[in-house]
Structure formats: structure tokens, C-alpha cells
Amino acid sequence: MRRTVLTGAVLLLAATGCGEQLSVPDPPEATSAPEAEQSPQGETAGPQEQASPRETQPTPEEDANQSSGTFVLNRYGDENGFDDQTPTEYVATEFTTFTDMEWGTWADEVARGEGGVKGTWCMQEGCQDDPYEVEVELGDPVDVDGTMYFSTYTITDYGEEMSEEMIGTLEEVDGGTLALPESE
């Protein structure tokens, strides 16, 4: 009798553990094998973040605003970093990441975009799950071994959600300086 009760309890537990799925996960987007690391925007990150071919083709307006000359060192998915332009996800420094970025301008001297900002400096505020909306400008290109990189960023609009305390903390942590590759 005891064995029957124990078997019944195990079966009941197994049946409840295999309960009904309440939401159906979205199917993965079709991807092609990248020739090099590609960012989620399509410029440079791993295959799991590869954008579809349609997403990687800039519109004529975007193409006119982009330059082939100035990059950022992006550490998204790669601790050593890689050259990137117009990244959607941009690990700018060890403390700060720009997310869901949309770049209106990407030229040799300046880049301007909008999206979210999060980092270690605002974890206690929950910014990892809900980044602060900002507008950012990259500038002050420097030459590192023959490649131009933006070396500074300026938040030009902090939005309405970011407190004065968080603005001060962000400015104190990074000082508006972007990570650059080591000179060889």
C-alpha cells in the first residue's frame, strides 16, 4: 500500500511539473553564417546576434550619413573588443553600455544617436532591465595604429527618467571617455 501511495505521489508530481505552457516562444529569425564577427545591428558580433540580411542593408539616408573611416571599440560579446560602426548594442567602457541604439549620423568627426544607457553605476536602480533613454554624441577621433576611433561621448539629452544623482554618477564613472584599443 505504501509503495502505491508513493508511486502515485511521484506520478502526480511529474504530471504537475509538465504543466501547460502559457506562452509560445517566438521562432528564431533566419540567419546566415557570418564571415566575421557581427554586431546585432549587422556590422560586427556573434552569429546568435546576427541581423537578417534585410536589416544589415542601410537605407539611402543612413548610407549617406555613414563613414567608412571612424570606429568604436565595442566589447559586446567579446572582452577583447572589435572595431564597429553604428552598433545597436555597444559596450563602451567597463562601466557603461548603450543599448537599442539608432544612429542618425555616423561621420568621420562625429556620430549622433539615441537609445538606452545602462551600466554597473546604476544597477541598484534597476537600469539593467530598464535602461535610461538618452541621446549621445561620439567625438574626438584619435588614430590608433592607422585606424580612427571615437574617444569621447557626451550625453546630449538625459530624458526624463534619469535623476540628477544618476547623471552625476555616470559622469563620475566614465568622464565621457570611450575605451580604445591598445596600440601595437
Domain ranges of the chain: 72-174
**What are the CA-CA distances from residue 26 to residues 12, 29, 45, 129 (Å)?**
30, 9, 21, 20
CA proximity to 93, closest of 181, 178, 7: 178
Mean pLDDT of the chain: 76
pLDDT band at 16 (very low <50, low <70, confident <90, very high): very low
pLDDT band at 42 (very low <50, low <70, confident <90, very high): very low
What pLDDT, on the 0 to 100 scale, is given for residue 1? 52
| Mean pLDDT, residues 98-116 | 98
What pLDDT, on the 0 to 100 scale, is given for residue 184? 81
What pLDDT, on the 0 to 100 scale, is given for residue 40? 52
pTM > 0.85: no
134 pLDDT more than 50: yes
